[in-house]
Amino acid sequence: MEYLGPEAWQAVALSLKVAFWATVLSLPLGIVTAYALARGRFAGRQILNGLVLVPLIMPPVVTGYLLLLTFGRQGPVGGLLYDWFGVTLAFRWTGAALAAAIMAFPLMVRAIRLAIEAVDPKLEDAAATLGASRLRVFCTVTLPLIAPGIIAGAVMAFAKAVGEFGATITFVSNIPGQTQTIPSAIYAFLQVPGGENAALTLVVISITLALGAVALSEWLARRVAHRISGK
């Protein structure tokens, strides 16, 4: 691929890195949130549900700007992170991962929540009567049964994170080799004369990644479902 310079390859590698960490780090929180929304009986459930959905509805640029205000070096959280741990998120790839994680979170939670709601609570009751505490019921009954949903949610989140643009570019800008992910690179190539070929190649790569992710998740989910049902 002669048109694909090191800049573009960097963008691909960075996108995968950002999407990977965004998915892995938000997965535990995604499972807990999905469980709380599916089975929880607490007062703030609707508020939590709304909060999770907000990034899906708000313009991504607004999310990115709010992240910058909050996690920028001058922001309330960003300032503390810098003062206490010397960590900076704004204009770094870690910030890109945070932005991608937040934007992908609603998709992840939705897939896992649907899977939890499909688990018959009667099975969980049965486990409790056999002496299993709530945590044990969750780990030994609920979790194995929702594994296909978790895989689907994770892959969906990964694909979304690879393609996140608006919030990312607003929060961490578009610095080649540091914060320039595939979408930002496509955008940058299209701004300069003669960049169309490189942009097109990246377009093909991102389509391939997206389709590959969906196919992989379908295959994994089917395998896990098969193993679980024991048919």
Partner 1 sequence: MTLSVNIKRRLGDFALDVSFDAPDGVTVLFGRSGSGKTSVVNAVAGLLRPDEGRIALHDRVLFDAGAGVDVPVHKRRLGYVFQEARLFPHMSVRDNLLYGRKASGLKGQGDLSRVAQMLGIEGLLDRRPARLSGGEAQRVAIGRALLSEPEILLMDEPLAALDAPRKAEILPYLERLRAESGCPIIYVSHNLAEVARLATHLVVLEDGKVLKDGAVSDLLSDPSMVRVFGVRDAGSVLTARVVDHADDGVTELKVSGGTLWLPTVPAEVGSHLRVRILAQEVLIAAERPVGLSALNVLPVTVLSMKRGDGPGVIVQLKAGDDTLLARVTRRSADALGLHVGGACFAVLKSVAVAPADVGGGLQSV
Residues at the interface with partner 1 (CB under 8 A): 120, 122-123, 125-134, 136-137, 140-141, 144-145, 227-231
Residue with smaller CB distance to partner 1, 74 or 140: 140
Residue with smaller CB distance to partner 1, 193 or 231: 231
Q: What is the closest distance, in whole angstroms, from the C-beta atom of residue 134 to partner 1 in the complex?
A: 8
CA distance 78 to 172: 13
Cα dihedral across residues 54, 211, 18, 219: positive or negative: positive
Whole-Å CA distances, 214 to 101, 153, 172:
18, 11, 27
Q: What is the closest distance, in whole angstroms, from the C-beta atom of residue 141 to partner 1 in the complex?
A: 6
* Residue closest to 217 by CA, chosen among 149, 162, 159, 155: 155
Got the DSSP string for 195-226?
A: -HHHHHHHHHHHHHHHHHHHHHHHHHHHHHHH
Residue with smaller CB distance to partner 1, 134 or 223: 134
Q: What is the closest distance, in whole angstroms, from the C-beta atom of residue 39 to partner 1 in the complex?
A: 15
Residue with smaller CB distance to partner 1, 119 or 199: 119
Residue with smaller CB distance to partner 1, 40 or 144: 144
Residues with Cβ within 8 Å of residue 224, at least 6 apart in sequence: 147, 148, 151
Q: Is 83 exposed, middle or buried (0-12, 13-18, 19+ CB in 10 A)?
A: exposed
Q: What is the closest distance, in whole angstroms, from the C-beta atom of residue 212 to partner 1 in the complex?
A: 28
Q: What is the closest distance, in whole angstroms, from the C-beta atom of residue 129 to partner 1 in the complex?
A: 4
